[in-house]
Homo-oligomer: A and B are copies of this chain.
Amino acid sequence: MNLRKKLIAKPGKRIKLSKIDAAFHGNYADDEQAKDALARNVARLAELQQKLYAEKKHALLIVLQGIDAAGKDGTCWHVMAAMNPLGTYVKSFKQPTEEEQRHDFLWRVHPFAPGLGQMAVFNRSHYEEVLVPRVHDLVPKSVWSSRYDLINSFEEGLTQAGVTLLKFFLYITPEEQLERFRQRLDDPARQWKISEADYTERAHWDAYIDAYEDMLEKCSTPHAPWYVIPSNHKWFRNLAVSTIIEATLDDMKLTLPEPTVNLDEIRRKYHQAKKTGVGKAGSPADR
């Protein structure tokens, strides 16, 4: 099954999220069956990221959005775990600070756009600004509705500079969310993630779904597509995301750059150094 084709939000097409099966898990019955595929993906990603870093002809920006407990943090962890921190980073976007609010909504995001050779994950992103302020009526409609075009232009600018964008919307059902909240209550390692807003935001579920559907329709573009990831099963979410990243990096035909030096020359120096050792006098020709 080609997960990239299956899960892409086709540019300009409306997706009814209620018609998406959040528990979809492709060809694999369970995480045990998917284990080898997952491990293979992670290993391949590590290898491809090294090439991306060395070659410096491409950049990759992964955007993660999803309702609370959809698995954004877990996806970051899973995807980035295998990578070399040199050349990769995760940037989380929280509620805008006072200073950030005095600037245009892309101001705080732009500095974290990856440069050639870099791979970045945005854990939440500029898309927050067409979600929260809309659902909570924090700015007039004229303001948030103009942001779709501004986002598309911003992302087009990145693309033209060599950035490939992959945007993942992690989709879970309200029932799955509630179950995850329950697990947090019982897990001392994750109790810190519980916030007052968890339950009050659930009251706005339908409004968020509307906002996500608009975001997917207006901002899934050929140069920066959205993917809707069925995320009730964490292992399938990880499999789908890593598969799509891998396929995207594969398309870049990344290659390690040619050495900039004459290897035979360097080999000669190596043997000479070995023969004479540090601090010993070299042959007269080397002095």
Q: Chain A interface (Cβ within 8 Å of chain B)?
A: 56, 59, 99, 102-107, 110-111, 113, 115-118, 143, 146, 149-150, 153-154, 156-158, 160-161, 163
When the two chains form the complex, which single residue of B103, B105, B118, B163 contacts A104, counting CB atoms closer than 8 Å? Answer: B163
Closest to A142 in B: B160
On chain B, the residues within 8 Å of A163 by CB distance are 104
Copies of this chain present in the complex amount to 2
> Is B143 touching A115 in the complex (CB atoms < 8 A)?
no
Q: A102-B118, A110-B110 are in contact. List 10 more A-B contacts (CB 8 A).
A: A56-B102, A105-B161, A106-B110, A106-B157, A111-B111, A149-B153, A150-B157, A153-B153, A153-B154, A154-B154
Known A-B contacts A102-B56, A111-B107, A113-B107; the reply to A150 vs B146 at CB < 8 A is no
Known A-B contacts A110-B110, A111-B111, A153-B149; the reply to A103 vs B160 at CB < 8 A is no
When the two chains form the complex, which single residue of B102, B105, B161 contacts A103, counting CB atoms closer than 8 Å? Answer: B161
When the two chains form the complex, which single residue of B99, B106, B157, B161 contacts A115, counting CB atoms closer than 8 Å? Answer: B99
On chain B, the residues within 8 Å of A106 by CB distance are 110, 157
> Is B110 touching A161 in the complex (CB atoms < 8 A)?
no
The smallest beta-carbon distance between A104 and chain B, in angstroms, is: 4
